[in-house]
Amino acid sequence: MYTKDKPENAAITEFCDYLIDNYISNESIFPPKMWARQCSDRVHTTNACESFHSDFNSNFYHQHPNIFKFIEILKLFQ
């Protein structure tokens, strides 16, 4: 762990212990599984409409799909 490289200082030791107890260990208050996630779990845009439009369009292989394909995809988004 990184604590072996830290200087001998009471304040630094206290801060390192705080980080481990609260964020780094699996038994911490905020374990890594809570805050260290893959980027794919996150929305890639801050605009909800843009996000929906991008996700919706990714289901089509043509710019002008037939009406049946469009309705099929639309039902998936309900």
What does each C-alpha distance from 8 to 2, 16, 19, 23, 53 come to in angstroms?
13, 11, 17, 22, 54
In percent, the amount of the chain with pLDDT more than 70 equals: 81
pLDDT value at position 56? Answer: 85
Residue type, 61: Y
Cα Rg of the chain (Å, integer)? 23
Ordered DSSP codes for 29-41:
SS-HHHH---GGG
Give 3-31 pLDDT, tens digit per residue. Answer: 567 778 888 888 888 888 888 888 888 88
